[in-house]
Amino acid sequence: MELDNLDFEGLLENMVPLLLTAVKSILIALLVYFIGKWVINFTLRATDRIFIKYEVEPSLASFLNSFLKGLLYIVLILVVLSTLGVEVTAFIAVLGAAGLAVGLALQGSLANFAGGILILIFKPFKVGDTIEAQGTLGSVEKIAILYTTVRNFDNKVVTIPNGALANNSIVNFSIKPTRRIDMAVGVAYGTDLKKTRQVILDTLKKDERIHGDPAPAVYFTNFGDNSLDLTVRCWANADDLWPVFWDNMEAIKESLEENAIEVPFPQRDVHHFFPEGKPEIKG
């Protein structure tokens, strides 16, 4: 029994320092965890204020905050494990390999993700803008991290990958408040172009939606097959573009007719040659 007591006492003497060391490590790890958690929350609140100050798109701000939160918690967990004496090198290697595998598997999605971030940061267009991109012309309905949704003018919804949008040309019809309107008008050969120009300009002056600066202009642009081709240019607010175009195309036609200015239609003169002489016509 005495030997057993000695062994038990020796075991206790060895275990007490180990337990104290373990308790100390756990307490330090808990302290590190709670301090780290406070730092993470402080950092996230600070980034929220920065996003609000610089008017970052809400969807992008939410995603970046979530991504940053996850990244910071992974770092905190690794630090806590290291404080407890756990070898974290293996964990880091596993995370790196997993990240590489996921990156290779999701190359297209990552390209769309990067494109979405670029679009939300640099804002080449916003929801409600009319754009032309990737063969689609329409109004932007939604900008997500991976895809942008565009509704075209016959009410079809087109989903475009953000990677394609970020790496190709985009025409934004809404970014400027005014737009130039081009109208093509053809008149018959022999028409007095000065009179025609004045008739068209007088017609445009009646529309209050058309801006006086820059002033409307009419240019003779081409000798067409059947007509003398004119280009009519004027400026209006972007929202009035199509109504101004449609209304004035009709108004110009009516003004030309009122002033006896002919708007020609396609026609051909056919000349029949008779190498052996014109045949007699029996009547």
- pLDDT (tens digit per residue) in 237-259: 988 998 999 999 999 999 999 99
Of 156, 172, 188, the last residue of a domain is 172
Smallest Cα–Cα separation from 219: which of 201, 206, 202? 201
Smallest Cα–Cα separation from 143: which of 155, 156, 131, 153? 131
Residue 69 contacts residue 42 (beta carbons within 8 Å)? no
- The three-point CA angle 74-77-83 to 5° equals 145
pLDDT at residue 144 in the model: 81
Q: Are residues 99 and 12 in the same domain?
A: yes
- Read off φ and ψ for residue 260, nearest 5 degrees: 55, 35
pLDDT at residue 64 in the model: 75
pLDDT at residue 159 in the model: 92
User: Which pLDDT band holds residue 226 (cuts at 50, 70, 90)?
Assistant: confident
What domain count does the chain have? 3
pLDDT at residue 211 in the model: 95
- By the 10 Å C-beta count (0-12 exposed, 13-18 middle, 19+ buried), 140 is classed as buried
Task: Taking residues 146-153, report their average pLDDT.
Answer: 89
Residues 6+ apart with CB under 8 A from 74: 95
Task: Taking residues 3-32, report their average pLDDT.
Answer: 67
Task: With respect to residue 276, please indicate whether it lies within any of the assigned structural domains.
Answer: no
Q: Are residues 155 and 205 in the same domain?
A: no
Higher-confidence position of 127 and 201: 201
pLDDT at residue 146 in the model: 83
Task: Taking residues 150-158, report their average pLDDT.
Answer: 91
Longest dimension (CA), the chain: 153
Higher-confidence position of 111 and 252: 252
Report the CATH number at residue 87: 1.10.287.1260
Report the CATH number at residue 164: 2.30.30.60
Task: Taking residues 158-175, report their average pLDDT.
Answer: 90
pLDDT at residue 105 in the model: 52
- The three-point CA angle 157-159-163 to 5° equals 155
Higher-confidence position of 93 and 155: 155
Residue 204 contacts residue 210 (beta carbons within 8 Å)? yes
C-alpha 145/C-alpha 136 separation (Å) is 19
211-229 as b/e: b if 16+ CB within 10 A: eeeeebebeeeeeeeebbb
Task: With respect to residue 182, please indicate whether it lies within any of the assigned structural domains.
Answer: yes
Task: Taking residues 44-72, report their average pLDDT.
Answer: 78
Report the CATH number at residue 222: 3.30.70.100
pLDDT higher than threshold 50 for residue 101: yes
Orientation angle between helical segments 107-122 and 89-105, nearest 10 degrees: 90
79-113 as b/e: b if 16+ CB within 10 A: ebeebeeeeeeeeeeeeeeeeeeeeeeeeeeebbb
C-alpha 11/C-alpha 3 separation (Å) is 12
Distance of CA 20 to the CA centre of its chain: 60
H or E element that contains 266 = none
> What domain range is 146 assigned to?
124-172
Task: With respect to residue 118, please indicate whether it lies within any of the assigned structural domains.
Answer: no
User: Which pLDDT band holds residue 1 (cuts at 50, 70, 90)?
Assistant: very low
pLDDT at residue 110 in the model: 75
Q: Are residues 100 and 30 in the same domain?
A: yes
> How long a stretch of residues is the chain?
283
Task: With respect to residue 277, please indicate whether it lies within any of the assigned structural domains.
Answer: no
Q: Are residues 72 and 142 in the same domain?
A: no
Task: Taking residues 210-225, report their average pLDDT.
Answer: 93
Percent of the chain residues topping a pLDDT of 90:
35
Q: Are residues 166 and 190 in the same domain?
A: no
- The least confident of 84-88, 140-144, 151-155, 168-172 is 84-88
pLDDT at residue 266 in the model: 75
Q: Are residues 13 and 69 in the same domain?
A: yes
User: Which pLDDT band holds residue 208 (cuts at 50, 70, 90)?
Assistant: very high
Smallest Cα–Cα separation from 133: which of 119, 114, 113? 119
- The least confident of 6-20, 168-182, 206-220, 230-244 is 6-20
pLDDT higher than threshold 70 for residue 106: no
